[in-house]
Amino acid sequence: MSKWADLPHFILYEIICRLSFFDDVFIVGAVCKSWQSVVNSLEKPLLPPKCPWLMLAERERGNKERQIRSFFKLSDARTYNFKLPELVGRKSYGASLGWLLTIGTDLQINLFHPLSKQLIALPPQPTFCCQYNGKVERMYLRKNFVSKCVLSRSPWNSITHEYDRDCIIMTIYGGKKLLAFTRLGYKAWIDIKSPTRCYDDIAFYKGKFYVVDCHGEVFVCRTDDNRKLEFKVIVPRPKGTKGTTQKYIVISSGALLLVSRMRGGPCSSLGRDRNYEENEFNNEDSKDDTEDEDAFEDESEEEEEEEEEEGGGGGGGGKEEEYINDNAYLTIGFTVLKLKRCTQAGSKYRYKWVKVHSLGDQALFVGDNSSVSLSASSFNGCKANCIYFTDDKLNYACTLEGGGYDIGAFRMQERKIEHPYPGESLSFFSTPLWYI
């Protein structure tokens, strides 16, 4: 051990610079006290965590307590505390690649990397094109103005050690849930003209943004040579879809998944709709395919899949009463569709939606984060064929202590919900989210 402890600091620094995940930095520091002192003295690398961490809500009492932010790590089911005064009083969203997008009552919007404490200022909230009518409280804008954020790449170039101005930050914002983007160095957010509104989620894949609205209609947004964003429909809404359910768009093993989340309870839309059926999507007709021949490039690889993998339902979660107790709302199930190339003879459509019964080795993570799919076998504590979710319902007015209780993992095969986080973490503006 003494020989390891005497390793020159510059060699240890080179080792750290070649790590792929921030978790490994902790492992390096745990080797011996000498290495720990070197890790503490170095500028932390801008790396994402190896597996998803659940960033818990801000503590409410005491200024010092509020500066401590707790992260629940799925791989070892332990909670780690970090001193992060940069997050005090700010609403956070998981923007992917280890970065958060934050907004406070000062209405300044930042990108923040909590493990390295790097902060990048973005254009503030008043620079968005569409604003609420009349005077709106800053606390309301902090909690409700932004609903989603996704990055096209890391804003930090690890090779040049400079900020990457080609990084595009896209958001869903405002009461009408419109789309806007900006780049590092821009002075304002730029609206994206589109034929609809009320978007639910965004994903970035191979140079293109994919977005889904509340009805399940999917669009693609790509950058042209003039650095403008072109926007067009690639997939119409599936038959039977309901705008009252939360939609997510996830890239999983090269496939585009449309995930729909159902909530029950007196403050949910399903609590008032007693005709809710277990499978929201009832279409198996190839006429729900897209006519765009350049819709999703990787779908040709899926032609080799067996027919039974297209499967059935994937969701619902049994009767509503099994999950709902005294809470104002709770997630009761999910349904999943996949975009697949249509091979039916005589069909005028190139793609179609098919129902997904199993996610295989994949686990999905949705909520106030960039929706992602990960290989469960690669991470301890992460279960395959599950959808991990956090409480991303914006309106917590009908709750007694705020949001954050609607957190769990939906098991696709059993159609049941379990709770990987054993505690409780509630807030009216800063609910837990997956940090990935």
CA distance 266 to 198: 23
Q: What region, left, alpha or beta, does residue 254 occupy, with left being phi > 0 and alpha being psi -120 to 50 degrees?
A: left
CA distance 219 to 369: 20
CA distance 207 to 186: 20
The amino acid at residue 160 is T
CA distance 198 to 195: 11
Is the distance from CB of 115 to CB of 49 less than 8 angstroms?
yes
**Nearest Cα to 332, choosing from 288, 372, 280?**
280
Is the distance from CB of 240 to CB of 224 less than 8 angstroms?
no
Instruction: Please indicate, yes or no, if residue 374 is contained in any of the structural domains.
Output: no
Is the distance from CB of 344 to CB of 286 less than 8 angstroms?
yes
**Cβ partners under 8 Å of residue 267, min gap 6:** 328, 329, 395, 398, 399
Instruction: Please indicate, yes or no, if residue 31 is contained in any of the structural domains.
Output: yes
Surface-to-core class of residue 58, CB atoms within 10 Å of its CB (0-12 exposed, 13-18 middle, 19+ buried): buried
What's the DSSP call for residue 78?
A: E
**Nearest Cα to 429, choosing from 92, 204, 161, 166?**
92
- The end-to-end CA distance of the chain, in Å, is 33
Total domains, the chain: 1
Instruction: Please indicate, yes or no, if residue 4 is contained in any of the structural domains.
Output: yes
What's the DSSP call for residue 56?
A: P
**Nearest Cα to 314, choosing from 360, 351, 365?**
360
**Nearest Cα to 69, choosing from 80, 335, 157?**
80
Q: Where are the beta strands (DSSP E) in 217-360?
A: 218-223, 229-235, 246-252, 255-264, 330-341, 351-355
Dihedral sign of CA atoms 323, 325, 327, 328 in order: positive
The three-state secondary structure class of 353 is strand
Q: With residue 3 as reference, give the H or E element that holds it.
A: helix 2-5
- Domain span at residue 22 reads 1-45
Instruction: Please indicate, yes or no, if residue 39 is contained in any of the structural domains.
Output: yes
Instruction: Please indicate, yes or no, if residue 180 is contained in any of the structural domains.
Output: no
Residue 434 forms beta bridges with which residues?
54
Instruction: Please indicate, yes or no, if residue 205 is contained in any of the structural domains.
Output: no
294 phi, psi to nearest 5 deg: -115, 35
Residue-level pLDDT at 312: 38
Is the distance from CB of 399 to CB of 328 less than 8 angstroms?
yes
CA distance 394 to 430: 10
CA distance 314 to 297: 25
Instruction: Please indicate, yes or no, if residue 5 is contained in any of the structural domains.
Output: yes
Residue-level pLDDT at 288: 38
Q: What region, left, alpha or beta, does residue 107 occupy, with left being phi > 0 and alpha being psi -120 to 50 degrees?
A: left
Q: What own/partner pairs with CB < 8 Å and gap ≥ 24 does 154-158 have?
A: 154/46, 154/97, 154/98, 154/99, 155/99, 155/111, 155/120, 155/184, 156/46, 156/113, 156/118, 158/45, 158/46
Is the distance from CB of 46 to CB of 154 less than 8 angstroms?
yes
Instruction: Please indicate, yes or no, if residue 40 is contained in any of the structural domains.
Output: yes
If the chain, 436 residues long, is cut into consecutive pieces of 10 residues, what is the mean pLDDT of each piece? 74 77 74 76 70 90 82 89 93 93 98 90 97 94 95 86 90 94 95 85 93 90 66 77 83 94 77 41 42 43 36 41 60 93 60 90 96 91 95 77 92 96 91 94
Any idea which residue has 């209405």 for tokens? 107
